[in-house]
């Protein structure tokens, strides 16, 4: 079994679409994982994956790149808090927001904290989705290592978290504001009517063609005037062809 056959077979077995990923990066990650677990070829690795739930979980974790922290790239989140969200709130006092590829839920919860400050006692709709069910379970539990909270102010840390011996537990006042669901960006239906979509450090692993499809789908999912918020290392060069206007680095708006 060569890599192409492995990719096709494991995609069918696990219900993934791996054809949208950048092939060299994908192959390198899978080969590294395969060798580190003692397998010499794709055939043996495939057989092990389909029969071992723990190996499958490790495989999915490697493929979906679960990296997340609160207020990641703090200066960008400061811009979101001081400029972007206030602009959106002028048009609609109850926002509908989607954190796509949410991993541990840190960014969705970060936005919930910001909105609690900007609009106390107003219930916004915040959806958060990921392809990895194991990571979604962790996101719903909302217990975090202290290194993931390095950008959280002391005021917010005291207000929204309870510290135990090893981790910080997010309080229900923020935890209950986010609804999590399993969603595959490459094959599942996109909901509509969002004012803000956050998809950061996800599309960099996909081919250019797949990126264009995702950005087009995000555009259709946004309300007129809605904002797409991307990662610090990302840029959409052909944004106008995809139906966006660039308001600033990392923020792209669907024209009103």
Does residue 47 lie within any of the structural domains? yes
Does residue 150 lie within any of the structural domains? yes
Q: Is the pLDDT of residue 76 over 90?
A: yes
Shared domain check, 159 and 82: yes
Shared domain check, 96 and 175: yes
pLDDT (tens digit, 9 = 90+) per residue, 169-178?
999 999 999 9
Shared domain check, 144 and 185: yes
Shared domain check, 56 and 95: no
**CB neighbours of residue 119 within 10 Å:** 16
Most confident region among 52-61, 126-135, 221-230 by mean pLDDT:
221-230
φ, ψ (nearest 5 deg) of residue 216 = -65, -45
Shared domain check, 248 and 146: yes
Does residue 90 lie within any of the structural domains? yes
Region 13-23: mean pLDDT is: 75
Which of 37, 64, 91 is at the close of a domain? Answer: 64
pLDDT (tens digit, 9 = 90+) per residue, 27-59?
888 998 898 989 889 999 999 988 888 888 778
Does residue 40 lie within any of the structural domains? yes
The confidence score (pLDDT) of residue 126 equals 98
Least confident of 33-42, 96-105, 240-249: 33-42
Shared domain check, 202 and 109: yes
Average pLDDT, the chain: 91
> What tokens appear for 125 in the block?
């709709």
pLDDT (tens digit, 9 = 90+) per residue, 88-100?
999 999 999 999 9
Q: Is the pLDDT of residue 20 over 90?
A: no
Shared domain check, 191 and 162: yes
| Domains: count for the chain | 2
Give the torsion through C-alpha atoms of 88, 89, 92, 95, to 10 deg.
80
Does residue 54 lie within any of the structural domains? yes
Does residue 69 lie within any of the structural domains? no
Region 228-249: mean pLDDT is: 93
The CATH number that applies at residue 101 is: 3.40.50.150
Shared domain check, 89 and 148: yes
C-beta of residue 138 within 8 angstroms of C-beta of residue 182: no
Shared domain check, 213 and 165: yes
Structural domain for 24, as ranges: 3-64
Does residue 53 lie within any of the structural domains? yes
The confidence score (pLDDT) of residue 45 equals 92
Shared domain check, 162 and 136: yes
Which of 64, 84, 109 is at the close of a domain? Answer: 64
Q: Is the pLDDT of residue 1 over 90?
A: no
Which of 40, 64, 88 is at the close of a domain? Answer: 64
Shared domain check, 107 and 230: yes
Does residue 248 lie within any of the structural domains? yes
CA dist 112 and 198 (Å) reads: 13
For the chain, where are the E strands, in sequence order?
Answer: 96-100, 125-130, 143-144, 161-163, 168-170, 178-182, 194-198, 222-229, 245-248, 251-253
* Model confidence, pTM: 0.81
Shared domain check, 50 and 175: no
**CB neighbours of residue 245 within 10 Å:** 12
């Amino acid at each position: 079994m060569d890599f192409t056959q492995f990719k096709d077979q494991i995609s069918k077995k696990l219900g993934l679409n791996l054809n949208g990923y950048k092939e060299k990066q994908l192959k390198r990650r899978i080969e590294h994982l395969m060798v580190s677990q003692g397998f010499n070829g794709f055939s043996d690795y495939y057989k092990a994956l389909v029969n071992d739930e723990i190996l499958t979980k490790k495989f999915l974790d490697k493929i979906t790149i679960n990296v997340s922290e609160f207020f990641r790239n703090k200066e960008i989140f400061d811009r979101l808090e001081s400029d972007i969200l206030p602009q959106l709130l002028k048009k609609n006092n109850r926002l509908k927001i989607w954190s796509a590829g949410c991993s541990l839920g840190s960014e969705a919860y970060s936005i919930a904290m910001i909105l609690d400050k900007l609009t106390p006692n107003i219930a916004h709709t915040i959806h958060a989705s990921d392809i990895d069910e194991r990571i979604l379970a962790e996101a719903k539990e909302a217990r975090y290592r202290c290194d993931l909270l390095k950008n959280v102010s002391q005021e917010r840390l005291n207000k929204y978290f309870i510290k135990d011996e090893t981790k910080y537990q997010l309080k229900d006042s923020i935890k209950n504001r986010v609804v999590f669901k399993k969603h595959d960006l490459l094959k599942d239906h996109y909901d509509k009517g969002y004012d803000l979509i956050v998809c950061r450090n996800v599309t960099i692993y996909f081919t250019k063609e797949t990126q264009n499809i995702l950005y087009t789908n995000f555009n259709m999912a946004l309300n007129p005037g809605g904002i797409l918020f991307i990662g610090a290392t990302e840029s959409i060069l052909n944004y106008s062809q995809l139906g966006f206007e660039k308001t600033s680095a990392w923020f792209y708006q669907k024209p009103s």
